[in-house]
Amino acid sequence: MRSQTFTILNPSGFHARPTKVFVQKVGTFPCKVSVSKGGKKVNGKSSLSMLTLGIQQNDEVTLEVDGEQEEQALQELGALLTHIFEE
């Protein structure tokens, strides 16, 4: 298992569209992915649960990956978390 903390840059936080992009990407990895903020941890494969974290700009979010391809998942998903909105 590996984990790392990232800071959200998007000024309008983590809404339907970015959540969709993120969750779809999570779905391409075989490993378990969870996302936590402020002590609350949710399944990274559920957009509904992701929304309940209410992620906003400058929030610190921890990504936890466990299983096959975890290294690659951490790298790609972390980059997505930080830069998803700069595209």
Partner 1 sequence: MSNRLTGIAASPGIAIAKAFRLNNADDYVPVADKAADTHIEVNRFRKAVDEARQELEEIRILTEQRIGAAKAEIFEAHLMLLEDPDYVDAVIEGIEEEGMNAEFKLHEIANSFIEVLSAMDNELLRERAADVKDVTGRIMSKLRGVSYAAIAAINEPCILIAEDLTPSDTAQLNLDYVLGFVTEIGSRTSHSAIMARSLEVPAIVGAGTAAGDIQTGTMVVMDASLGTVLIAPTEEEVADYQSRKLAYDQRRVELRKLLDQPTLSADGQHVELAANIGSVEDLQKVFANGAEGIGLFRTEFLYMGRSAMPSEEEQFQVYKHVLERMNPKPVVIRTLDIGGDKELPYMKLPEESNPFLGLRAIRLCLSKQEIFRTQLRALLRASAYGQLKIMFPMIAVMEELRAAKQLLEEEKGKLVQEGVPVPENIEVGIMIEVPAAALGADFLAKEVDFFSIGTNDLIQYTMAADRMNETVSYLYQPCHPAVLRLIHMVIRAAEREGKWVGMCGEMAGDVTAIPILLGMGLHEFSMSASSILPARALIKEVSRTEWAGYTQQILAMSSQEQIQQFVKQKLRSDLQ
Among this protein's residues, is 83 annotated catalytic?
no
**How far is 60 from 51, CA to CA, in rounded Å?**
15
Segment interacting with partner 1 (CB under 8 A) among 31-39, 40-48, 65-73: 40-48
Figure out which of the listed residues 21, 36, 41, 56 binds partner 1, where binding follows CB under 8 A.
Answer: 56
What is the closest distance, in whole angstroms, from the C-beta atom of residue 46 to partner 1 in the complex? 4
What is the closest distance, in whole angstroms, from the C-beta atom of residue 2 to partner 1 in the complex? 22
Figure out which of the listed residues 1, 5, 7, 9 binds partner 1, where binding follows CB under 8 A.
Answer: 9
Figure out which of the listed residues 42, 62, 76, 78 binds partner 1, where binding follows CB under 8 A.
Answer: 42
* Encoded tokens for 66: 């466990």
Stretch 65-84 residues interacting with partner 1 (CB under 8 A): none
At 3, which amino acid appears?
S
**How far is 33 from 74, CA to CA, in rounded Å?**
9
Q: How many CB atoms neighbour CB 81 within 10 A?
A: 24
CA dihedral 37, 42, 45, 46 (to 10 degrees): -100
